[in-house]
Amino acid sequence: MPLPRDTWQVIFTGKEQAEFQRLPIEPPKAGEILVRATWTLISTGTETISYGRRFDAGTHWDNWVKYPFSTGYSHTGVVEAVGPEVTKWKVGDRVASGCTHKQFAVASQDAFFPIPEGVADRDAAWLSLSYVAQNGIRGVEHELGDDVAIVGMGPIGQLALQFVRLLGAREIIVIDPAQARLDMAMAHGATHALAVNVADALEPITRITGGRLCDVVYDITGNDRVFSAAQQLVRRRGKIGLIGDTGSPGGQTLTSAIIGKSLRIIATHGSASPQVDSEWSHWTRSNMILLFLRYLADGRMRLSDLNTHVFSPKDCQGAYQKLLHDRAGTMGCHFDWSEIV
């Protein structure tokens, strides 16, 4: 069968403009493979900020999102061809990667990860969000029995909940005004759910923790107004884990609680994980993804019930419009590439 010469791909061509375009591709070179997509996961926070251009001038968002913008970074599929000198893969292998929303992906063989037997492609497509969450949690350096609050129960918040549970947190308090998101969190190990704005969470958290407050509070909202309120929920000498990446960082303000309670702020970006596995830094992006896939394979993490919406990539404009205006009513949102020819 001849190799494809082009690929369908989702492209942002301007503010609130998503197009399904056909673009040329090269055959795989030495050390590269070609993968036909099965599913790609939409990063609903990052991609709606990018799509709606909901960020301030001069931020890293402003420097990153340039049109035409190739969006997405969570891709699963099947190997269709291998280039010379490829040793890791064969035609027919199921793989996951950080490639964009496209029908055919060509990249180095080292950019892909094996999808374990028994793990659905649609679940494996959460791989990139998994290391964003995992990288942030590793930065906090939890202790067994921590009381933890997670503000923002979107996809990364749901992953953070499952990782924190695996680490042995005592109380896991989830905070989000969307009740459906809280119901999902309670089904995955949260101990308390608060359907309130974070500014109204101090009284119930004081009661739940016996007046001590939380050892760790995560802000995973991407909303600049949450950060200052979250500082009130942390105990003296506690920690704030900042994983949500807001488009308006100038709105994230420090309060007197930072100095008054000697708080520590640990801010992490997914791209900041170690690049090379060593005795000093084992948990690279690759090793974190492999751990996530292992957890899926042996049932210690579960995502199938968090997959809520399926879109055709042909209707990418409609998909992003829905997410821009009703993101709270969604969770795991995928493009289905099975009918794209």
Residues 55 and 115 in one domain: yes
- Cβ burial of 291 (10 Å; 0-12, 13-18, 19+) is middle
- Give me the pLDDT at residue 266, please: 97
Which residue is associated with the tokens 């999808």?
A: 115
The answer to the question of residue 290 being in a domain is no
Q: What is the DSSP string of 282-310?
A: ---HHHHHHHHHHHHHTTSS--GGGEEEE
The answer to the question of residue 264 being in a domain is yes
Residues 144 and 255 in one domain: yes
Integer Cα distance of 240 and 227 in angstroms: 9
Q: State the DSSP H helix or E strand holding residue 37, giving kind and residue range, or none if neither.
A: strand 32-42
The answer to the question of residue 288 being in a domain is no
Long-range contacts of 335-339 (CB under 8 A, 24+ apart): 335/10, 335/37, 335/39, 335/40, 335/42, 335/101, 335/310, 335/311, 336/39, 336/310, 336/311, 336/312, 337/36, 337/37, 337/38, 337/39, 337/40, 337/77, 337/103, 337/313, 338/38, 339/312
Residues 106 and 213 in one domain: no
AA identity, residue 276: V
Residues 146 and 264 in one domain: yes
The answer to the question of residue 289 being in a domain is no
The answer to the question of residue 131 being in a domain is no
Residues 143 and 122 in one domain: no
Residues 49 and 105 in one domain: yes
- Give me the pLDDT at residue 30, please: 98
Q: State the DSSP H helix or E strand holding residue 158, giving kind and residue range, or none if neither.
A: helix 155-166
> Which one of 269, 294, 314 terminates a domain?
269
**Overall domain count for the chain:** 2
Residues 10 and 115 in one domain: yes
- Give me the pLDDT at residue 178, please: 97
> Inter-axis angle of helices 155-166 and 44-52, to 10 degrees?
150
The CA-atom distances, in angstroms, between 254 and each of 50, 130, 224, 264, 269 are 26, 28, 11, 12, 19
> Which one of 226, 250, 269 terminates a domain?
269
Residues 311 and 254 in one domain: no
Residues 80 and 155 in one domain: no
Residues 25 and 67 in one domain: yes
The answer to the question of residue 223 being in a domain is yes
The answer to the question of residue 183 being in a domain is yes
Please report, for the domain that includes residue 175, its CATH number. Answer: 3.40.50.720
Which residue is associated with the tokens 């205006």?
A: 325
Q: List CB contacts of 139: < 8 A, sequence separation 6 or more.
A: 241, 266, 268
The answer to the question of residue 15 being in a domain is yes
Residues 110 and 147 in one domain: no
Residues 145 and 101 in one domain: no
What range defines the domain where residue 59 resides? 6-126+303-336
Per-residue pLDDT of the chain (341 residues; tens, 9 = 90+): 689 999 999 999 999 999 999 999 999 999 999 999 999 999 999 999 999 999 999 999 999 999 999 999 999 999 999 999 999 999 999 999 999 999 999 999 999 999 999 999 999 999 999 999 999 999 999 999 999 999 999 999 999 999 999 999 999 999 999 999 999 999 999 999 999 999 999 999 999 999 999 999 999 999 999 999 999 999 999 999 999 789 999 999 999 999 999 999 999 988 888 888 988 889 999 999 999 999 999 999 999 999 999 999 999 999 999 999 999 999 999 999 999 98
Contact yes or no for 97/35 (Cβ under 8 A)? yes
- Give me the pLDDT at residue 271, please: 81
Q: What is the DSSP string of 51-120?
A: HHT-S-TTSHHHHH--SSEE----EEEEEEEE-TT--S--TT-EEEES--SBSEEEEEGGGEEEPPTT--
